[in-house]
Structures are given as structure tokens and as C-alpha cells.
Chains A and B, each alone.
Chain A
């Protein structure tokens, strides 16, 4: 992968899981990192979200790879906090070349048992969040006529799945947002794509498994049969797809929904 040296990436949901993996892989390729995370629990989901020390750990690991890191504690649904975080990133690094809208939450229940608060929470973080962060970041990209945005969708962005009505609705919406942003930003040479992971070995999957009452050993038995390739996907596999999409190699790839799903959508 070429062309990443000296760039600046803003990554949401960066404290752990896929977001942390993206940060470290980019840092290894010479990218300075603005690592944004809520680093606090929300009323929903039921599982624990990241802690400030998780976010700091991501930043330390970036620095250990010889790149500058900026920790930004913010909720992606809070416009004022997002605006401040973007301003702080530009003040610190002078530019933003790459935006990874990775922050997301999940929860499990039949749609008729979801409360309005639970519905709103997932739509807010998983759909409004990426729009809001993009809204504040893209003006900095438009002026420079360059940029790469990758939204983290899900297999649930192209197909339904039981107990994930709010999640699936948000992720379908994110595919629509991605395609529209790609159209609007193409004149400015900004590429907008999304990745659609299957079941990834991450704190979010563990949290959702916990909510389903699954033990760690059940996770494999429950989620693997959905895949054609009978394994759980690792965070690094999603990172590899993101690295391609933000690289020069993918300069003509935009508006695409790239599945990294072990064949789930094909099954």
C-alpha cells in the first residue's frame, strides 16, 4: 500500500477493537492519528464501552510506532463535541486526509421488544454519528480536493438479521449515506466507501453475545455457521480492507460497499 506517509487520519471508536487495529496499521504506514472515542458507558447498549485508559492505550501504541497521536474523548452524536474534536485535530495536525467512521454499538432483541430509547441509541451512534463526523470533517477535505472516508457498515447493511432491527436499519442507512456522500464528494476527489464486516472477534461481538446469554465458547458455535469460511473474522481482516480503500491503489473505488464477511452474504 502506498501513498499514506505523512497523512492524518481521524478514527472514531478508536479505543479498542476494529478502531484500534485501524489506528495501529495506519501508524505503521506513517499516518498521524486522531483517535476519537466516547471512552465512557452509555445507558444502552448493556455491555461496557471503552474506558479512557483504553483510548490512551491506543495512543501509546501509535506513538510506539513512531507516529503522533491525539486522544479525543467525544460522543459522535454530540455535534458540539464533534465540532470541537475536528477543530482540535486540524489545530494539532493541520489537516485531515482520512476519516474512518468506525464507532458503533449493537444490541439484541426482537424489534417489538425494543424500547424507543434503545432504537434511538443505535440509530444515533451508528447512523447519525457517521453523518455528523463527516459533516464537520469534509469541509477540510473539500478545500484540499482530496480525502478518503470509510464508513464501517455490516453484513446487516445489506440483509436483515433477527434481533438486530435497529442495528440493521442503521447499517442499511449507512450504505445509503455512503453512496450519497460518494456522489456529492466525487467532484472534490474524495472517495467514500464502506466496509461490511461479518462476525468479527471484537468487544462489540462479545458484548452482544453476553446480551444473548452466550458463553465465550458459544460465540463460535453461534456466529460461525453464518459464514461460508467457518471461522470468526479477526479485526486485522477488516483493517486490511480499510487500508486498501484509503490507499492510492483504490483511487477509482468510490461508493462501494465492500464485504469482509467470510462469505456470509454469498451463503
Chain B
């Protein structure tokens, strides 16, 4: 894909018609490299497969072990490997690595390995996040709060920090931070989650300002209730069976039903593709109307 933002680029209608976005048949991320965290399953896996299908080579990472303070099973090495195989099946190159986003060293090493393998990274999706434990604000422990902020907010920041110098050097790139509808409104029993996800939007907007001079866009995506392992674990934490949880989470939406991971991938794809080149600093809800209800 050409960089259309170079000085003297041809912005004529004829030229525009030849952009990859102008032709449905063309791959929207051909020749790009995307780094996706939290990719063992759920939304992260969906992003990896979706981006690979659009021509990108993929670096995927996940923690690949459980955490004492998080009361449900996290992504495993085997699940990360399944994601990798799905990318390979699409004919794209893949690098799968374990990475704990709580560690600055591990995140830095992840970026280093990605650059060593592919020579560059064009797109970063900071997707890794946890959804529990849950509790009222006055019941949540300090340890639970710290863990939540460490992963859901600081983990995003660590990803941005590690890759930014490379994107600045190349004078192009896309960063997509996964926030939540809870990044724009409060949610009972999840104040730490909402605080972290609100924080992601503040980080995104500030970074958009800082990286705009370097032709790097930075956006946040705010999903509603998406059918993922995280949401299913969430339902259990609320003491609900899946049928009841599904109905409860769907009742937050204006549109019927739960979102699928691919609904979020489509938004990320738009932001990562040529079509999103002038979109930056956005907090984009993909929430079935959650925020309007």
C-alpha cells in the first residue's frame, strides 16, 4: 500500500479511485505488519485473523498463564498457537509470543522481536485486558484496583510507549487501543474497569496529539457486550448462568443480541486501513447503541 500522505501525493479523483479502499477486491492491509496483544482468543484472535485475511503479517501475544488476582482462566499457550495456525492457514506469516503487559521489559522485548522478525510494525492493537474481579467500589481491594489499572490501562500505555519510537522513525503507523463502552460511561460493580477504560481514552487522545506530527493515528474502540471468554467469565462472576448472562448483557443494547468479536475487528480494520488515514483521537463506540440507551 502506498503512503498517500507523502508531500506531492496525488489526491485527484482518478487517483482516489485506485486506492485500496476504492476497490472491494483489493486487500486492505496488504504488505502491513500488525502487532496484537491479548490474541490467544476472543477479540484479539478475531483481529489477528481478520487482519491476516486482509493481507497483513501478524505478531500475536498473550500472557499464556493465569494471574492469582484474576478469578477466571486467561489465554493459554495452546490457544495462542491456535490463533497462529489460523493466520498461517490464510497464507500470512505469524510470530506468536507470550507477553505479560504488566512488564515493561516483556513488552519492550515483544516489540524488539517483532521488528527483528518483520523489519517493521505498521499497526498496534492494544487489546489485552481483564474483566474481574468485580465488586462495589467500597468492597474492591487495593490489590484488585492496582491489577486492573496495571493491565487495562498501563498495559496499553506500555504497548504505545514501546512502539512509538519506531513509528516516529518511520513517520507512519496506526495505534488502536481497545477501550469499552465503560470507557465513556460508568458500570456498577466495575468501577476499576470503568476507570481504566476511561483512562485508555484519555491516553489515546493525548497520544493522538503527540503522534499526529509524525503521521501516526491513535484511536480507541469502545465495544459494548461482545461474546468472548472475558464476557462469559464476567457472567459467572455476576453469579449468572450463560443464558441469563447473555440476556442481561444484551439488555444493555438498543439493538438486539450480543456483538461478535468480528464486529470489533471490522472497526479496527477501518482504523488500520487507508480508509482511516485522517481519523485520529477518536473513541469509536461499536456498542449496539449501549451508550445511547
Residues of A bordering B, CB below 8 Å? 159-160, 266
Binary CB contact string for chain B from 185 to 207 against chain A (1 if under 8 A, 0 otherwise)? 11000000000000000000000
- In the assembled complex, how far is the CB of residue A49 from the closest CB belonging to chain B, in whole angstroms? 31
Give the CA-CA distance A160 to B289 in the complex, in Å. Answer: 11
Contact call B292/A159, Cβ cutoff below 8 A:
yes
Closest to B292 in A: A160
Give the CA-CA distance A266 to B182 in the complex, in Å. Answer: 11
Residues of B bordering A, CB below 8 Å? 185-186, 292
When distances are taken between beta carbons in the complex, the residues of chain A under 8 Å from B292 are: 159-160
Give the CA-CA distance A266 to B187 in the complex, in Å. Answer: 9
Give the CA-CA distance A266 to B292 in the complex, in Å. Answer: 11
- In the assembled complex, how far is the CB of residue A264 from the closest CB belonging to chain B, in whole angstroms? 12
Give the CA-CA distance A159 to B185 in the complex, in Å. Answer: 13
4 A-B pairs (CB sep. < 8 Å) = A159-B292, A160-B292, A266-B185, A266-B186
- In the assembled complex, how far is the CB of residue B172 from the closest CB belonging to chain A, in whole angstroms? 34
Closest to B254 in A: A160
Give the CA-CA distance A159 to B186 in the complex, in Å. Answer: 16
In order of increasing CB-CB distance, the 4 nearest A-B pairs are A266-B186, A160-B292, A159-B292, A266-B185
- In the assembled complex, how far is the CB of residue B218 from the closest CB belonging to chain A, in whole angstroms? 25
When distances are taken between beta carbons in the complex, the residues of chain A under 8 Å from B185 are: 266
- In the assembled complex, how far is the CB of residue A266 from the closest CB belonging to chain B, in whole angstroms? 6
Closest to A265 in B: B185
The secondary structure that dominates the B interface is loop
- In the assembled complex, how far is the CB of residue B293 from the closest CB belonging to chain A, in whole angstroms? 9
- In the assembled complex, how far is the CB of residue A163 from the closest CB belonging to chain B, in whole angstroms? 15
When distances are taken between beta carbons in the complex, the residues of chain B under 8 Å from A160 are: 292
Give the CA-CA distance A160 to B185 in the complex, in Å. Answer: 16
Give the CA-CA distance A33 to B286 in the complex, in Å. Answer: 49
- In the assembled complex, how far is the CB of residue A83 from the closest CB belonging to chain B, in whole angstroms? 40
Closest to A159 in B: B292
When distances are taken between beta carbons in the complex, the residues of chain B under 8 Å from A266 are: 185-186
- In the assembled complex, how far is the CB of residue A167 from the closest CB belonging to chain B, in whole angstroms? 16
When distances are taken between beta carbons in the complex, the residues of chain A under 8 Å from B186 are: 266
Give the CA-CA distance A14 to B34 in the complex, in Å. Answer: 61
Give the CA-CA distance A266 to B186 in the complex, in Å. Answer: 7
Give the CA-CA distance A160 to B291 in the complex, in Å. Answer: 10
- In the assembled complex, how far is the CB of residue A229 from the closest CB belonging to chain B, in whole angstroms? 14
Give the CA-CA distance A132 to B186 in the complex, in Å. Answer: 38
Closest to A161 in B: B292
Give the CA-CA distance A89 to B292 in the complex, in Å. Answer: 42
Give the CA-CA distance A160 to B293 in the complex, in Å. Answer: 8
- In the assembled complex, how far is the CB of residue A158 from the closest CB belonging to chain B, in whole angstroms? 11
Give the CA-CA distance A160 to B292 in the complex, in Å. Answer: 7
- In the assembled complex, how far is the CB of residue A196 from the closest CB belonging to chain B, in whole angstroms? 16
Closest to A228 in B: B186
Give the CA-CA distance A266 to B185 in the complex, in Å. Answer: 6
Give the CA-CA distance A107 to B283 in the complex, in Å. Answer: 33
- In the assembled complex, how far is the CB of residue A228 from the closest CB belonging to chain B, in whole angstroms? 9
- In the assembled complex, how far is the CB of residue B188 from the closest CB belonging to chain A, in whole angstroms? 10
- In the assembled complex, how far is the CB of residue A186 from the closest CB belonging to chain B, in whole angstroms? 23
When distances are taken between beta carbons in the complex, the residues of chain B under 8 Å from A159 are: 292
- In the assembled complex, how far is the CB of residue A263 from the closest CB belonging to chain B, in whole angstroms? 10
- In the assembled complex, how far is the CB of residue B221 from the closest CB belonging to chain A, in whole angstroms? 21
- In the assembled complex, how far is the CB of residue B89 from the closest CB belonging to chain A, in whole angstroms? 43
Closest to B289 in A: A160
- In the assembled complex, how far is the CB of residue A89 from the closest CB belonging to chain B, in whole angstroms? 41
Give the CA-CA distance A266 to B291 in the complex, in Å. Answer: 10
Give the CA-CA distance A160 to B254 in the complex, in Å. Answer: 12
- In the assembled complex, how far is the CB of residue B197 from the closest CB belonging to chain A, in whole angstroms? 15
Give the CA-CA distance A159 to B292 in the complex, in Å. Answer: 6
Closest to B291 in A: A159
Give the CA-CA distance A266 to B198 in the complex, in Å. Answer: 14
Give the CA-CA distance A134 to B71 in the complex, in Å. Answer: 57
Give the CA-CA distance A188 to B289 in the complex, in Å. Answer: 41
- In the assembled complex, how far is the CB of residue A3 from the closest CB belonging to chain B, in whole angstroms? 35
Give the CA-CA distance A266 to B191 in the complex, in Å. Answer: 13
Give the CA-CA distance A187 to B292 in the complex, in Å. Answer: 36
Give the CA-CA distance A159 to B285 in the complex, in Å. Answer: 14
Closest to B186 in A: A266
Give the CA-CA distance A101 to B138 in the complex, in Å. Answer: 42
